[in-house]
Amino acid sequence: MDAQQPTPTIEDYLSLIFSISFDQEKITGAKLADYLGVSAPTVTATLQRMERDGWISTGDKKQITLTEKGQTAALAVVRRHNLVECLLFEVLGMPLSSIHDEAHRIEHAISQETESYLNKKFKNVQFSPFGMPLLGDTPPTRGWKPLIQASTGRNLLIRRIIHYHSTREALQFLEQLELIPGTQIQVLEHQVYNQTLILQSAAQPEKITLGNPMAQMILVEEI
């Protein structure tokens, strides 16, 4: 097989490694196994092939980084993923909780021609429905931070849902509460002893109790 053309499996590894490092988390084989829901030996074998074919390099402490070739291939698939999510969400009106899995299937089969039409269609769109830069290469910071770190009483705008390892149920839960990009919220209380936050959302009158792990998935900007 031509090692210049990543297989769908390799594309998924590349985009996951890209996404994890985009949010400045450390990447290890154990984390990939956890996020992909596959066994550690499977991940190890795939990573060995990827290193042999020049997609990644592994440094000390088993930290994984993309090579230049890996970075280019990862960006290509991340872009297609984000464009397809826009198509499914904006044009077809599918719920946020459904589009990621579907985009994962479609992203591997999209032709250059379709991609160029998608690029044209969404040329004025800056972010995917989850709040990822559409073209995948904008700096991550912009003053967005995990909700868990937000001070109480500030007006916050939800900017991104870190969604590449979240379950569909978790996304449905956030969707039902309208805790999605574009919604304004305030943290009323950090209940550290109870590992939860109490929120007030502009989208609904009742206060919302959210567990800390969910609050880690949401990036907000103070407005």
Between 104 and 190, CB nearer to Zn ion: 104
Structure tokens at 45: 């074998």
CA distance linking residue 112 with residue 131, whole number of Å = 24
Give min distance, CB of 50 to Zn ion, in A.
15
Between 12 and 219, CB nearer to Zn ion: 12
Count residues binding Zn ion (CB under 5 A): 3
Phi, psi of 149 (to 5 degrees): -95, 0
Between 12 and 29, CB nearer to Zn ion: 12
Give min distance, CB of 161 to Zn ion, in A.
9
Q: Are 119 and 135 spatial neighbours (Cβ–Cβ below 8 Å)? A: no
**Cβ-based neighbours of 143, under 8 Å, separated by 6 or more:** 221, 222
Structure tokens at 101: 């899995």
Buried residues in 113-125 as b, exposed as e (16+ CB within 10 A): eebeebeeebeee
Between 13 and 214, CB nearer to Zn ion: 13
Between 6 and 29, CB nearer to Zn ion: 6
Residue 80 makes contact with Zn ion by CB under 5 A? no
Q: Which amino acid is at 97?
A: S
Residue 100 makes contact with Zn ion by CB under 5 A? yes
Residue 160 makes contact with Zn ion by CB under 5 A? no
Residue 129 makes contact with Zn ion by CB under 5 A? no
Residue 17, number of CB atoms within 10 A of its CB: 23
Residue 79 makes contact with Zn ion by CB under 5 A? no
CA distance linking residue 208 with residue 173, whole number of Å = 12
The residue at minimum Cβ distance from Zn ion is 104
Q: Are 223 and 184 spatial neighbours (Cβ–Cβ below 8 Å)? A: yes
Give min distance, CB of 127 to Zn ion, in A.
12
195: phi > 0 → left, psi -120 to 50 → alpha, else beta; which? left
The only residue of 104, 159, 160, 190 in contact with Zn ion, by rule CB under 5 A: 104
Give min distance, CB of 132 to Zn ion, in A.
7
Between 165 and 189, CB nearer to Zn ion: 165
Site for Zn ion in 3-42 (CB under 5 A): 12
Sites of contact with Zn ion (CB under 5 A) = 12, 100, 104
